[in-house]
Every structure is written in C-alpha cells, then in structure tokens.
Amino acid sequence: MQNNKEIRKHILHYYKLNKRKLPWREIGNKLQNPYYTLVAEIMLQQTRVDTVKSYYIKFLSKWPSIKLLSQAKQSEVLTFWSGLGYYRRAVNLHKAAKLIVKNHEGIVPDEYLKLKKLPGIGEYTASAIIGFAYGKYSIIIDTNIKKFLSRVYGLSGEQISSKKKMYELAINLFPKKKSGDFAQAVMDYASN
C-alpha cells in the first residue's frame, strides 16, 4: 500500500495543473455556491458531465436562485428538463427547492442529515454539497473515486463493491481540510 500523504500530494498537484473548468466550480480558492452545487449534483446523477454543462447553464439562467425555482410550476421545470432524462430528478429538485425555501429560509442546509431528508438527495449528494459548497470535512465517494481507490489499493471482487471497505480507505486517504477539493481532484484524475 502506498503512503497516503504521497498520494494526496500527487493528486493535488495534478489537480492544480489539470483542473477541469466546470461551470459549477468557483474560480480560485472559493467554495462553490450551495444552490449551484445542488443543481449540478442533481443533474449529474447518472448523466455525463459533458451533457450536463449546457443544461446547467440554461437552467441557472432561467432560475438563478432557489427561491425562483421554488416558485416555478413543476410542469415548467419538467419541460425545461426535457432531453436530460431521469425526470424524477427534476421533480425532486423542484420539491427540494420548495422545502428549502419553506423550512430553511431559502438556504441549502449545511448539515448532512438535513440534506438527506430532502427529496433526491442521497449519501453522495449530501456529502458533495457539504464538501464542495461549505468546505466541511466530508467523505465523498462517487464512481470515479471508487475506481481510483480500487486501482491505488489493488482491490478486486467483493472489496470493490464493499461500501464499508471503500469508506475505510477514503477516511484514511481524504485530508481533514479541503476534503471537497481533494474529492474533486480525484474525480478529475480518475475520469481520464
């Protein structure tokens, strides 16, 4: 097993030089906008990054705030979502926006359990919002991170599908500070 400190150093160096320019990522060292992160992460569920980019930009042009999205008609959101597929995501995003405005004063929650109570938000999305938008320590595991962990640690078979094993490895690998940046670095690295 390689040294986790060296792995982190290598991945963060790679990220500094090769960070993908994605419209939901902030410029510089700023955290992502929580609403933008929510929209992006819901759109990215089971959909490729290249497909999401144009929809994301158009979506935020139409509904630049969570309050405006919460006031939209569901039928309007579904029509706008056309072509992106998995329409349940659009319904859930719209419902989540309404609940966030009603129960959280229009601010996307920064707590894992509060996020998980919202429609369409599972473990990954809640962890991503906490790490990417709020800069809190979070273990964020998506397909690319699983692929990365499997390769680095030589996992096979049941080990790859073991949620517990992946989480244990990630806890040891993810830095305590800027875990969201590290997760995005690994995602970019593993997506190539």
Helices 4-18, 179-191: axis angle to 10 degrees equals 70
CA dihedral 165, 169, 171, 177 (to 10 degrees): -150
Chain centroid, CA 94 distance in Å: 18
Read off the tokens for 157: 């078979």
CA 138 to chain centre: 11
- Residue type present at position 87: Y
158 assigned to active site = no
Residue in 6, 26, 41, 105 annotated catalytic: 41
CB 173 within 8 A of CB 8: yes
Instruction: Give the Cα separation of 62 and 41 in Å (integer).
Output: 18
CA nearest neighbour of 12 among 178, 124, 192, 139 = 178
The token pair that represents 158 in the structure block: 């049941």
Q: Could you list the active site residues?
A: 41
